Amino acid sequence: MLPTITRRSFRPFYMPNIFDEDLFPVVTNRTSSMPAVNIREDDKNYVLDLAIPGIDKKDLKIDINEDVLTISSETKNESEESSDGYKRKEFSYSTFCRSFYVPENVTREKIEANYKDGILSVALPKMEEEKSKINRKIEIS
């Protein structure tokens, strides 16, 4: 089956104008408030780094339910000004929610989070492997 060519993917004579959705990406419904995430692993941890600048730490929520870790935020702002018979009232609302499956080898009780400079880092510590492994030579009789 051939791919469908849409207006968004094929514009041979494209000239931007003030009515184009790409000119004002903030007001289009295609804007995603989903934060970018990097997932890395070292010997002791899995680490999730989420880029969420401008969000106050008190507005962040991290939950774990069974095998799912959910990170979310909800922010509401309102402002009002009055002068010379004019009144201006503005509000904004932003929210996001990201969920991740937690591997079986994570110690759920020791999960930690740190928020600094717009980066939320969540460390998921791996379970310690059995340290009582014995290395020895076995004689054959």
Q: 18-64, pLDDT tens digit by residue?
A: 444 444 444 434 445 688 999 999 999 999 999 999 888 999 999 99
The residue among 107 and 5 whose pLDDT is bigger is 107
- Span 67-94, mean pLDDT? 87
pTM: 0.63
Query: Residue 66 pLDDT > 90, yes or no?
Result: no
* Unique residue bearing structure tokens 């014995």: 134
Provide the CATH topology of domain 36-125. Answer: Immunoglobulin-like (2.60.40)
Q: What pLDDT score was predicted for residue 133?
A: 56
Q: What pLDDT score was predicted for residue 39?
A: 93
